[in-house]
Structure 1
Amino acid sequence: MFNRHYHALVLAFQFLTRIPVYRIFSIANKVPTPQVAGKALLYYPIVGAVIGGALISVPLLLRWLQLDVTTSMQAAFVLVLWVWLTGGLHLDGLADSADAWLGGFGDKQRTLDLMKDPTCGPSAVIVLVLVLLLKWLALSEVIAVIQLAPTWQWLALVFVPVLARFEVMLLIVHTPYVRTEGLGTELKNQAQIHWVWFWCISLALLMLYLNLWLSLVVLTTAAIGYGLMRRLMLQRIHGWTGDTAGASIEMTELFLLLALSMAL
């Protein structure tokens, strides 16, 4: 049982990042069983925590080295690292979803077919540029406010990728998977609802303990964003796909960064 969870944790990093875990952990080169692939879902928030820790290391390192770098440049460095760590996987899902949503004309099958199309249309390019631009601007505002704050306050930024990946976990558990085969089927079949409650309660209590007002803003934003995105998926394609799951990560991160930039 321990080996299955250990393999699932490593597999979660393979699913969601480009961190070369296969060079570090030999078990990463082992073909996962459906049970292990399903359990990987349970460790998505941990992957988010590692990503968040890496992101805040950039401005903290620059501060420790006493380098005079503008907040806009720090935000650019953080955003580049963010995209690199995820390999652009979620941005790809966002691009495919944008093309499908705008080109599907409300038709479910046409929308699903467009998401399978590997080409990137103008709608996808526009959405990607706008999302990355807004992320950079929001990051600049957040870093400008908390760069002189105590180190523990940087946890506000860490919770952004954590909550985004928790919401994907929640989406997979509570929303039908559209396609009849693929990895999403394994994740859906093996999902464990008690883990969702564990992460939900743990994250909420920890955030509220650290900062009540800011946490209420962030958690409310996350809940509203999740509800709206889930509703859009159910209305258009009657469920979720890998592309819409990736898009939800990107959009949740954007919503939370904007909320932080206005609430700090």
Structure 2
Amino acid sequence: MFALLASFALAVQFLTRIPLNINITVSEQRLGQSVLFYPLVGLLIGSFLLILIHLLPEQSFAINAAIILTAWVLVTGGLHLDGLADCSDAWAGGLGDKERSLKIMKDPAAGPIAVIILVLILLLKWNAIQSLLLADTGLNFLLLAPFLGRVSILILMLSTPYVRENGLGSAMQKHLPQLAAKLIVLISLLLCVWFTNFYTLLSMLLLVGGIRYLSIQRIQGVTGDVYGASVEIVETAILISLAMTYG
């Protein structure tokens, strides 16, 4: 039981800025186990957003949507946005070359393409959140989007080779409990259909499949930045899909 709690705490520490004053011995096996809790961390993030939205006045949906989005970014420390930015620059500046693309991904500087993509993704999220708040069809989207965004990491880890031999991502993939991860993905996808509709699930799977295809074509696998980009793209797609359905 302690091992599971330690793995969950490690996942929270890695994916969020939630302060946990816990000293955890980090091993490669524990890193792999922690990935199983990524969807649960997504639910934790969503729960925080749910609490926040109930504390806000209902007069201004646009401002509330902006506050929710700001809190969303802050609680994750912009971790996945950073991955999306790195991938955007790599795909634009890599010129189809694997090594050049990987080198750009490691560059901490953000180019103009990264800035444009980040602005667009945040605008889309803000608009979708505002539409869903206006529609008043419930707040499940605040749980569903961060949850499925992190499920996408499991799907990519299970299906796509990791490019870099060293690093956290490689250790996580090597020591990921395969059967447990597959069960979590299956249950998560079934829950997606149960709480939303088949089209939301289909849009998510098509996007993850597209990300996987493009990554294999460009760099013959995935990196941590690709995982981050997947989270942001899937979250945005879920919000837009729900907004178009119910908004």
Q: Same fold (TM over 0.5)?
A: yes
Q: Take 1:79 and 1:177, find their aligned partners in 2: how far apart are those partners? A: 30
Alignment partner for residue 170 of structure 2, among 185, 189, 194? 185
Q: Take 2:214 and 2:193, find their aligned partners in 1: how far apart are those partners? A: 29
Q: Take 2:188 and 2:74, find their aligned partners in 1: how far apart are those partners? A: 26
Instruction: Give yes or no for the alignment of 1:226 onto 2:208.
Output: yes
Alpha-carbon deviation of 1:133?
A: 0.9
Instruction: Give yes or no for the alignment of 1:162 onto 2:152.
Output: no
Q: Deviations over 1:229-261 (max 9, x none)?
A: 111111100111011111111111111111011
Q: Deviations over 1:90-140 (max 9, x none)?
A: 111111111111000111110000001111111111111111111101111
Alpha-carbon deviation of 1:203?
A: 2.5
Counterpart contact for 1:52–1:157, Cα < 8 Å: yes
Residues 263 and 239 of structure 1, relative CA distance in 2, 3 Å threshold: same
Counterpart residue number, 1:42:
36
Instruction: Give yes or no for the alignment of 1:140 onto 2:133.
Output: no
Alignment partner for residue 218 of structure 2, among 236, 241, 246? 236
Q: Take 2:206 and 2:131, find their aligned partners in 1: how far apart are those partners? A: 22
Q: Take 1:188 and 1:68, find their aligned partners in 2: how far apart are those partners? A: 43
State TM-score, norm by structure 2.
Answer: 0.95
Q: Take 2:186 and 2:153, find their aligned partners in 1: how far apart are those partners? A: 16
Q: Take 2:46 and 2:191, find their aligned partners in 1: how far apart are those partners? A: 16
Percent identity over paired residues: 41
Counterpart residue number, 1:175:
160
Counterpart residue number, 1:57:
51
- Quick one: which amino acid aligns to residue 91 of structure 1? L
Instruction: Give yes or no for the alignment of 1:7 onto 2:6.
Output: yes
Counterpart contact for 2:151–2:188, Cα < 8 Å: no
Alignment partner for residue 234 of structure 2, among 235, 247, 252? 252
Alignment partner for residue 62 of structure 2, among 61, 69, 72? 72
Find the structure with the greater CA-based Rg.
Answer: 1
State TM-score, norm by structure 1.
Answer: 0.89
Counterpart contact for 2:155–2:185, Cα < 8 Å: no
Q: Take 1:108 and 1:204, find their aligned partners in 2: how far apart are those partners? A: 32
Q: Take 1:56 and 1:110, find their aligned partners in 2: how far apart are those partners? A: 42
Alpha-carbon deviation of 1:209?
A: 3.6
Q: Take 1:179 and 1:209, find their aligned partners in 2: how far apart are those partners? A: 37
Alignment partner for residue 85 of structure 1, among 56, 75, 98? 75
Counterpart contact for 2:193–2:200, Cα < 8 Å: no
Counterpart residue number, 2:191:
206
Alpha-carbon deviation of 1:3?
A: 2.2
Alpha-carbon deviation of 1:46?
A: 0.4
Counterpart contact for 1:217–1:263, Cα < 8 Å: no
Counterpart residue number, 1:217:
199
Counterpart residue number, 2:113:
123
> How many aligned positions are there?
246
CA RMSD of aligned residues (A): 1.4
In the alignment, structure 2 segments of 5+ residues that lack a partner are none
Counterpart contact for 1:48–1:165, Cα < 8 Å: yes
Q: Deviations over 1:172-214 (max 9, x none)?
A: 121100001011111111112222332233223334444xxx3
